[in-house]
């Protein structure tokens, strides 16, 4: 697998530290669900968001915890 950049987003904080951390992977097109799950497990945050292009919207987002895909994660958006 090629190098994947995971951005740390600290939600619900004004100074960038503390808050509720989430991982965000941009340009996740081409990653399988298994690869997304492995990345989320390695990152270890409560949720990691994967942003991909979509044919019927501006973009698509999928969310993974270290153990499973979840329907939504507000603090990772």
Catalytic residue numbers, as ranges: 47
In angstroms, how far apart are the furthest CA atoms of the chain? 36
Residue 53: exposure state from Cβ atoms within 10 A (0-12, 13-18, ≥19): exposed
């Amino acid at each position: 697998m090629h190098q994947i950049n995971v951005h740390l987003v600290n939600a619900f904080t004004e100074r960038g530290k503390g808050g509720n951390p989430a991982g965000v992977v941009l340009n996740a097109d081409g990653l399988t669900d298994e690869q997304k799950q492995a990345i989320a497990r390695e990152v270890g945050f409560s949720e990691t968001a994967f942003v991909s292009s979509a044919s019927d919207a501006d973009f698509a987002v999928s969310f993974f915890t270290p153990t499973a895909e979840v329907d939504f994660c507000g603090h990772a958006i």
